[in-house]
Amino acid sequence: MTVTAQAIPMLSDNYSWLLREDGAGAVGIVDPAEAKPAIDALDAAAGKLDFIFLTHHHPDHINGAPALAARYGAKIVGHGADAHRLPPLDISVHEGSLVEFGAARLRVIEVPGHTLGHIAYYIADGGILLPGDTLFSLGCGRLFEGTAAQMFASLAKFGDLPDDTLLCCGHEYTESNARFALAMEPGNEALIARAAEIKALRAKKLPTLPVSLGLERATNPFLRAVDAGEFARLRAAKDHF
């Protein structure tokens, strides 16, 4: 039994993720910004939807959820502490919660920073991390509600995950993030190679995700910061880059 994740482009640069579990056949979707692209992908792939997993309350991550729940009878999963800012939840989760997804389970990780109620989902069966807007390829989320220290601590929670974990982020920001990362680490050979790969993919209008967490550890300056102070300086520099 394993879980796979398929990117569904939405809006101008969002990704929702279609999750399929090959044991019991469970189907989920993560952060649907809008309903129609999700419906098209679902009807082409499975014709059903069991769960809608939300990482945080921003409209470009939740606006499609009510229509999808109504159409498919799917259960909406989200952070209980942020329920007042989310569509009505069927399953409220917190740090360490395990959501049964067919024969697999999604582990909930609280990752405040981008928003205070932000969560990520980790699926050991399939090696998938769904960080929403906490972690991007070669970048991290803006600090709209939390502090740099909170975001640094949140990213550190991913530290025990295997290098081959697939990072399935909420946005296609990789090409612009690469420019900043190269400015910070111009001599990083792994980053130089990754930037060239990204440029080629985007020239063909192909996604740069998912990407392995191991490659991010070698190339993403925010994951390479040694302490909260360095992270804060990087985040401030990126805000003004």
Residues marked active site are found at 56, 58, 60-61, 114, 133, 171
In sequence order, the 6+-apart residues with CB closer than 8 A to the CB of 38 are 8, 10, 16, 18, 29, 32, 49, 64, 68
CA angle 17, 235, 32 (to 5 degrees): 15
- Between CA 41 and CA 20 the distance in angstroms is 12
Contact indicator for 5, 210 with CB cutoff of 8 Å = yes
- Between CA 76 and CA 234 the distance in angstroms is 35
Give the DSSP letter of residue 94.
-
